[in-house]
Structure 1
Amino acid sequence: MESLRPGDPPEIGGYRLLARLGEGGMGEVFLARTASGRPLALKTVHRELSRDPDFADRFAREIRANDRVRSAWTVSVVDFSAPGASPQWLATEYIAAPSLGEWVHRHGPLTGPALWSLARELFAALAAVRAAGVVHRDIKPGNVLLGRERPFLIDFGIARAVHDPRHTRTGAVIGTPGFLAPEQATGALAEAPADVFSLAAVLACAATGCSPFLADGEELELPGLLYRIVHGEPALDGVPEGLRPLLGRCLAKDPRERPTADEALARIGSAAQEWSAAVPPPLAADAAHRETELHRFLAASRPLPLPAPVPLPQAPPTPPPALPATPPLYSPGLAGTRRVPWAAGAAVAAVLVVAATLAIRMPWNGGAGGDGGRDGSGSPAPTPSPSAMPQSWIGTWTGTGPGTPDADGITRARTGEFSVTVTLNAGSVGDLVGRQVSEVKESITGRNLGCTEALELRQTTGDRAVFAAATSHPTDPAATFDCPKGNLYVLTLTDPGHLALETEGAQSAGAPATLTRSR
């Protein structure tokens, strides 16, 4: 992480840039932040790539595929650029950790429990990717982050978006030389077995310090390297004996002879420790240093200011009605998941709020929007002041989402219908003006995993209002998990009767897409 350079922009896509994280063949990578203080890795695309007339659609398609992969080992897509933006960019969750490639280059191969644990975690990650129907196609040491809690796979589909063979020069190769599957090296269709091959090559690198198709310190021209991948045998001499046969099977030339990620994971079984227990102390110290540095950048930064409010006549103040002593409130847009230990020793994923944004866009000015500026009763709505809750927002809104019935029940809870109720009351900036209630039950246990939140009005600007979660607790009083506090919400009304829900660019799995006015 390094400071921004003199020519770097202060923001991209409305996200404040804080530092540089690196640069590569795709473009530059910056540390950024959301308005609520959530750290992001914002990756730009070189402008020459953006000039390709088909690139924007290809890029958006791959990012949406990436966002289908929601697991403990992957980072969420938070936002990405609209077609025509220059530069094109992608923002994901930021993990304060070194990549496997960086760590091996600086400190040498992983050994013992850390290597075995890495193998188990990454094959589990690949199994989750396959379950989502996604193929990564660019698994390499630089796309594995060694977090303190677990490793992460990043950059799904980016190589494919940038190097689509239908739009690049003849002979172009998708992926990273040294970690390609033979079918990728020859330009054939690469499916899930290609990821198994690449992951095995990455694990061989973790154990030996280099690709199994390159000797230590060897430099080989691309044609020679691709020939070796297609026709040569991998060098696995430095891989521990217990792991060597498995990696050998995964590196088979014929994709049909390779095990699946689930089969490889079963082969490793209980031979590996938990990653948090196996992490080498120097790696844990490195990640802790990066987290400290991240907090320093976030503490020294400020969110981008919202647009200045349009001056409006001051409405007569309306005293806000009192809220219940324990308001049942919820965050309908979830930006992430965390695994929570339940009773009886079972570990299931409870869907919790991390840093969400709930959006509402409302056309109350000038009589636009079909209602002529009236509320549901047909009475003229008073013109709001820049610091007051608009009268037309006041009411109760409800919606039901599908939940996550197809989740694995381990990395993410398997839940039924996901219901949300949002109630907004009159008030001014600084007041508690609303509540959110969620009900979402885990299919296996019947436990309610919903959270409740009290909403404080922070700002109203034109057709936008900003709220913060002043309190947060489980909807079920008997629940044993914690709900985070302080989440920031931006509300936007799509039409007088419907609210569209967003969470900083990506709607959470299972939540309702819209809320409808119920009264």
Structure 2
Amino acid sequence: MESLRPGDPPEIGGYRLLARLGEGGMGEVFLARTASGRPLALKTVHRELSRDPDFADRFAREIRANDRVRSPWTVSVVDFSAPGSSPQWLATEYVAAPSLGEWVHRHGPLTEPALRSLARELLAALMAVRAAGVVHRDIKPGNVLLGRERPFLIDFGIARAVHDPRHTRTGAVIGTPGFLAPEQATGAVAEAPADVFSLAAVLVHAATGRSPFLADGEEPALPALLYRIVHDEPALGGVPEGLRSLLGECLAKEPQERPTADEVLAGVGGAAGGEWSGVLPPALIAEASRREAELGRILAASEPLAMPMPMPMPMPMPMPVAVPVPVAVPVPVSVPMPPPAPPAAFAATPPLSSVLPARPRRVPWVPGAAVGAAALVVAATLVIKMPWSGGGGGGRDGSATPSASPSASALSPSWVGTWTGTGPGTPDADGVSRARTGEFSVTVTLNAGSVGDLVGRQVSEVKETGTGRNLGCTEALELRQTSGDRAVFGAVTSHPTDPAATFDCPSGNLYVLTLAEPDRLKLEVEGAQSAGAPEALTRSG
């Protein structure tokens, strides 16, 4: 992360720019913030590329590919530029964590326990990518972030739909040398087996500090490297013996000879989720803490854009939220913070659900519960991954603008009561990247109070089909801001609704709600709806 340079714009798309995260051939990546203090990775495209109609189509496909892949191991698209904008841009969640490439370069290969855990987590991510009908096509150490809670697979910049080879030009090398599959090296259309090959090459790098087709410190010319990938056997010296044969199978020259991600996961043994944080080296935990603290200081020192409150408009009819997950961008986000101890009087709250009005081009993040041996259980809640950082200001992210009036600091009596809603759940989910569930009920109770007070409780009930497990969560809600018919709530505690459950619920969720009608609440754009959750909450008491 580096400071903004002279000439950098103060904002893009209504989001304040705070620092530079990187740049490449396509454009630049900035750390940005929403009006309520949520950090974003905002990726811009060079203006000359934006003027190219073919590139504009490719960028639109990138956004769609990012937004189709939604899982615990990817980051979500928050916003993006309108068609024809210059420059074009894409904003996603930001993860304050080093990449695998950066970490190995500075600290050397991972230990075998960390390597095996990384393999399980990334294979679960790859299964989610495949389930969404997408091929990543650029899995490399720089596109794996070593988050504190789990690793993230990011940057679907050259991802393509599995059954849409029209957009991969034959004869063009797409991917990163040293980690691409032989079919990519020869310019053929790469499908799911190419991602298995690249992931295996990344795991060899994590175990040895080099690509399986390079010697230590070697930098051959591109043609020589591509020749090795197509014709030479991989060098697997230094890979733990228990993984060497399995990764060798993944690095087979012919795509049909490689195992699937599911088969590789079975070969590694164990399941994703629950182990990662326990095998991280202490230095990596310290590095994550340092980055999180730095991000906190930058956010605390920044100011939201001064934007006027919009003129009152007739409230549009609610539209159901599409279930799309996550999204990803080169430098993701999700800054995990230690959850506060739950107060005895509050058993925490989960998913608020309602409608996302906002700009029609924005697609909300829809987290789902992941189950099965290869997946991580994720609580069924609406999730904003950054805890509230303070700061007022109204903006496109749906945050409220605080008023100088004393009455603006208290929740209006019209909000007090019990609000309920029932959604269909996810009966058609794959049961791997998202849990298959029945009806999804949400109950929110709000009481009178002022900003800073615990004013409510949210309880969700959603049962997994087959096992009957309740994947809902309960959260205690603190009032953060209020202005007219809009209020911002932060979840200060969160735990499973079922006391016997063993999964963890997300912490620090943020909800921006509008009292659309006297008896109906809806969720604004600084929030998201869990898959299968109710589209609206109505007053029930």
TM-score in terms of structure 2 length: 0.72
Report SS of the residue matched to 2:32: strand
Matches of 2:378 and 2:519, distance apart in 1: 34
Give the conservation status (yes or no) of the 8 Å contact 2:512–2:524: no
Aligned twin of 1:318: none
Deviation at 1:142, TM superposition (A): 0.5
* 1:209 alignment partner in structure 2: 209
Q: Which residue of 2 aligns with 1:447?
A: 470
Deviation at 1:457, TM superposition (A): 8.8
Native 8 Å contact 1:349 1:409 kept in 2: no
**Which residue of the partner structure matches residue 117 of structure 2?**
117
Distance in 2 (CA, whole Å) between partners of 1:246 and 1:311 is 61
- Counterpart position of 1:487: 510
Contact (CA 8 Å) 1:453, 1:471: kept in 2 or not?
yes
**Where does residue 317 of structure 1 map in the other structure?**
none
Contact 1:328-1:437 at 8 Å conserved across structures: yes
Q: Which amino acid aligns with 1:291?
A: E
Indicate if the aligned counterparts of 1:467 and 1:488 stay in contact, CA closer than 8 A: yes
1:116-265 alignment, distance < 5 Å? 116-158=116-158, 171-265=171-265
**Structure 1 residue 270: deviation in Å?**
4.6
Bigger shift: residues 244-253 or 150-159:
150-159
Matched, 1:352 2:373: no
Contact 2:353/2:522, CA 8 A, preserved across alignment: no
State the partner residue of 2:279.
Answer: 278
Contact in 2 for aligned 1:30/1:43 (Cα 8 Å): yes
Q: What one-letter code is carried by the residue in structure 1 that aligns with 2:472?
A: L
| Alignment partner of 1:16 is 2:13 | no
486, 491, 509: which one pairs with 2:531? 509
Give, in angstroms, the shift of residue 46 of structure 1: 2.0
Q: Once the two structures are aligned, what percentage of the paired residues are identical?
A: 72
Structure-2 residue corresponding to 1:52: 52
How far residue 260 of structure 1 moved from its aligned partner, in angstroms, is 0.7
Q: How far apart, CA to CA, are the structure 1 residues paired with 2:225 and 2:472?
A: 51
Structure 2 Cα separation of the partners of residues 107 and 284 of structure 1: 13
Task: Tell me whether 1:331 sits opposite 2:360 in the alignment.
Answer: no
Distance 1:170 1:119, change over 3 A: closer
Give the whole-Å Cα distance in 2 for the aligned partners of 1:393 and 1:510. Answer: 25
CA distance in 2, matches of 1:199, 1:352: 30
Distance in 2 separating the partners of 1:483 and 1:240: 34
Q: Distance in 2 between matches of 1:394 and 1:284?
A: 42
> Following the alignment from structure 1 to structure 2, what is the Cα–Cα distance between the partners of residues 281 and 360?
36
Aligned twin of 1:369: none
Please tell me the residue identity of whatever aligns with 1:489.
Answer: V
Q: Quote the offset at 1:259 in angstroms.
A: 0.7
Alpha-carbon offset, residue 340 of structure 1: 11
C-alpha distance in 2, partners of 1:514/1:57?
Answer: 35
* Separation (CA, whole Å) in 1 of partners of 2:16 and 2:418: 34
Q: Distance in 1 between matches of 2:134 and 2:446?
A: 40
Larger-Rg structure? 1
Tell me, what secondary structure is at the counterpart of 1:244?
helix
Aligned residue identity for 2:62: E
Q: What letter corresponds to residue 261 of structure 1 in structure 2?
A: A
Aligned pairs, how many?
A: 474
Deviations 1:381-420 (A, max 9, x none): xxxx999999999999876433233556677544222345
Distance of aligned partners of 1:152 and 1:467 in 2 relative to their CA distance in 1, 3 Å threshold = closer
Q: In structure 2, what is the Cα distance between the partners aligned to 1:212 and 1:360? A: 44
Match of 2:322 in 1: none
The more displaced of 37-46 and 404-413 is 404-413
Partner of 1:300: 301
Structure 1, 302-311 or 208-217: larger mean CA deviation: 302-311
- Answer whether contact 1:498 1:517 (CA < 8 A) is retained: yes
**What secondary structure sits across from 2:242 in the alignment?**
coil
8 Å contact kept, 2:382–2:529: no
Change (3 A) 1:222 1:419: same
Deviates more, 1:186-195 or 1:18-27: 18-27
User: Secondary structure of 1:137's match?
Assistant: coil
Query: Secondary structure of the residue that 1:78 maps to in structure 2?
Result: strand
CA 1:349–1:216 in structure 2 vs 1: closer, same or farther (change >3 Å)?
same
Following superposition, the deviation at residue 329 of structure 1 comes to: 9.0
- State the Cα distance separating 1:205 from its structure 2 match: 1.7
Cα distance change on mapping 1:52 and 1:389 into 2, 3 Å: farther
Give the CA deviation at 1:71: 2.5
| Alpha carbons of structure 1 residues 508 and 148: separation in structure 2 relative to 1, 3 Å | same
Q: Partners of 2:293 and 2:376 in 1: how far apart?
A: 29
Does 2:492 correspond to 1:465?
A: no
Cα distance in structure 1, aligned partners of 2:153 and 2:109: 19
* CA deviation after TM superposition for structure 1 residue 438, in Å: 4.8
Partner SS state of residue 53, structure 2 = coil
- Partners of 1:106 and 1:182 lie apart in 2 by 29
The 1:437–1:215 alpha-carbon spacing in structure 2 relative to 1, beyond 3 Å, is closer
Matched with 1:287 is 288
CA shift at 1:75, angstroms? 1.8
Q: Alignment partner for residue 423 of structure 2, among 397, 401, 408?
A: 401
Q: Distance in 2 between matches of 1:243 and 1:114?
A: 13
Q: Structure 2: how far apart are the matches of 1:270 and 1:330?
A: 30
Letter of the structure 2 residue corresponding to residue 294 of structure 1:
L
Where structure 1 has 5 or more consecutive residues not aligned to the other structure, the ranges are: 313-324, 362-384
1:159 CA drift (Å): 5.5
SS of the residue aligned with 1:243? helix
- Deviations along 1:27-53, one digit per CA (max 9) or x if unpaired, are 211222233332222222222222222
Offset, 1:512: 4.0
Alpha-carbon distance change, 93 to 107 in structure 1, aligned in 2, over 3 angstroms: same
Deviations 1:82-122, CA, capped at 9 Å, x for gaps:
21222222222222111111112222322432223322322
Higher relative contact order (CA 8 A, sep 6+): 2
What is the CA RMSD across the aligned residues, in angstroms?
A: 4.6
